[in-house]
């Protein structure tokens, strides 16, 4: 089974960021985190419930600021997929979260596109996007969790 080619049909890009990468992004982009080490961050990734998962999802997503950040997380996801012999993936992305965090569409989307092209070239893994819109997180109702 390990060597068989596979398809990944449900993975969230932001939720697939590894703790070491999240810490690297936070340090590079000067985003304060409630922890200081990768070990502490790994401990936070042991989700207690859905609300805790969303809290950590948003904390990690706040660390993404540049095209290079988005390219990096897509590329790292593609590399891990290749290790598992995944050849096709449908990756869910939540543009509204990035928008509400002040990251322009052209920044995150061009970084994702560059990462996807590199994954295809280097690992022969095809990635397609599924865009997820979270209705209860919006500017007008101020119901967005952990808003700055």
Q: What is the pLDDT of residue 140?
A: 47
Number of domains observed in the structure of the chain: 1
CA distance 95 to 52: 21
Q: Tell whether 144 is covered by a domain.
A: no
Q: Tell whether 101 is covered by a domain.
A: yes
Place 142 in a pLDDT band, splitting at 50, 70 and 90.
very low
Grouping H, G, I as helix, E, B as strand and the rest as coil, residue 125 is coil
Range of the domain at 114: 6-131
Identify the CA nearest to 77 among candidates 14, 6, 148: 14
Q: Tell whether 83 is covered by a domain.
A: yes
pTM of the predicted protein model = 0.89
Across the strands, what pairs with 130? 92
User: What mean pLDDT comes out for the span 83-103?
Assistant: 95
Residue 141 pLDDT exceeds 80: no
CATH label of the domain that carries residue 54: 3.20.20.140
Place 147 in a pLDDT band, splitting at 50, 70 and 90.
very low
Rounded to 10°, the helix 105-123/67-83 angle is 30
Q: Tell whether 94 is covered by a domain.
A: yes
User: What mean pLDDT comes out for the span 20-41?
Assistant: 95
Q: Tell whether 138 is covered by a domain.
A: no
């Amino acid at each position: 089974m390990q060597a068989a080619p596979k398809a990944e049909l449900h993975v969230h890009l932001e939720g697939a960021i590894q703790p070491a990468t999240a810490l690297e992004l936070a340090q590079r982009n000067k985003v304060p985190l409630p922890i200081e080490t990768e070990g502490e961050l790994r401990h936070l990734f042991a989700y207690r419930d859905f609300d805790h998962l969303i809290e950590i999802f948003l904390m990690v997503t706040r660390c993404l600021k540049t095209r290079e950040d988005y390219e990096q997380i897509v590329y790292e996801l593609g590399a891990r997929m290749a290790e598992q012999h995944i050849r096709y993936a449908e990756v869910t992305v939540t543009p509204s979260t990035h928008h509400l965090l002040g990251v322009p569409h052209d920044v995150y989307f061009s970084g994702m596109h560059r990462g996807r092209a590199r994954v295809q070239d280097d690992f022969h893994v095809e990635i397609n996007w599924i865009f997820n819109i979270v209705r209860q997180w919006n500017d007008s109702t101020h119901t967005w969790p952990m808003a700055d």
